[in-house]
Amino acid sequence: MLKVDLHSHSTVSDGLLAPRQLVRYAAEQGVTVLALTDHDDVAGLAEAREEALLQDIRFITGVEISVTWRRRTIHIVGLRIDADQAELTAGLARLRESRFERARRIAAELDKIGITGSFEGAMAYASDRIISRTHFARFLIEEGHAKDMKSVFKKYLVKGKPGYVEHTWAELHEALEWIHGAGGIAVIAHPGRYDFGPTLLRELFTEFKDLGGRAVEVVSGSHSPDEFGRFADLAKAFGLLASRGSDYHGPGHSYIDMGRLAPMPASCTPVWHDWREVLEAA
């Protein structure tokens, strides 16, 4: 049976499992086609691919790019990318660099409310490549400021709360240029997570499509069943293919366990509909 998961994270970004462990876990959960899509980095792909070969999982190279669109943060997933493509890797390196400067500002904000040492504290959870709000969240939980991931993001690190700072990520057209330059397919990640009204959402879909974007996540670990239907309809209306991914970040740090995603609505054309390696796995 085909069990496709095209959105997941490893320790290269803010996941809890190393790329190799993540692939082993996916295999245990019966996943047959897996994409690793770390935030702003492709450093885990080689290891994951190696393990996928051993586990008889069809491996799809991926990345989840942080984008600022109309002063809001959105995520664009690139699938089937050539991870050695220089413009892509240079662009991602720029984003990772900027994360360290942003982390200093987050720490300065937390200092103001008496939570000190958070930069070093967050870094202790991070790889030396990337630092994200997730790492700050783990530090804040460890220090007893919140009980779990959900509550820590409710109290800190989000707009209007201590530890939130504005940040400028890649532009939408840049992210798509990097993905397309690397031969990949661009996917709007988890549209249900953006606090957009219907007009803004349609404007995003229109602009994305005009820039050559091809797909949208319909089934996401972070979407409700209602949202599956809503985004299936929107995908159809915009002529976009549909993707499916858990957004797995590790045990206890994920919306949904791997291998537990709902099936794709029948009205959708899956983004993998013409992928040879996937059809062979079916």
C-alpha span between 23 and 8 (Å, rounded): 10
Q: Which stretch binds Mn ion (CB under 5 A): 106-114, 184-192, 208-216, 266-274?
A: 184-192
Burial (CB < 10 A; 0-12, 13-18, 19+), residue 181, is: middle
Using rule CB under 5 A, residue 80 touches Mn ion = no
Q: Residue 47 binds what, of ligand AMP, Mn ion, none (CB under 5 to 8 Å, by partner type)?
A: none
223 CB burial (10 A radius; 0-12, 13-18, 19+): buried
Nearest Cα to Cα of residue 98 among 152, 202, 168: 168
d(CA 42, CA 47) in angstroms, rounded, equals 10
Question: Which structure tokens are listed for 255?
Answer: 């919306």
With CB under 6 A as the contact rule, which of the stretches 28-36, 41-49, 55-63, 130-138 interacts with ligand AMP?
Answer: 130-138
Q: How do beta strands 33-36 and 58-69 pair?
A: parallel
Give the residue, chosen from 22, 40, 60, 75, that forms a contact with Mn ion under the rule CB under 5 A. Answer: 75
Q: Is 14 in the site for Mn ion (CB under 5 A)?
A: yes
> Can you tell me which of 150, 159, 161, 273 binds ligand AMP, judged by CB under 6 A?
150
Q: Of the two residues 154 and 273, which places its CB atom closer to ligand AMP in the complex?
A: 154
Contact pick of 3, 39, 190, 214 for ligand AMP (by CB under 6 A): 39
Contact residues toward ligand AMP (CB under 6 A) are 14, 39, 66, 132-134, 149-150, 153, 249
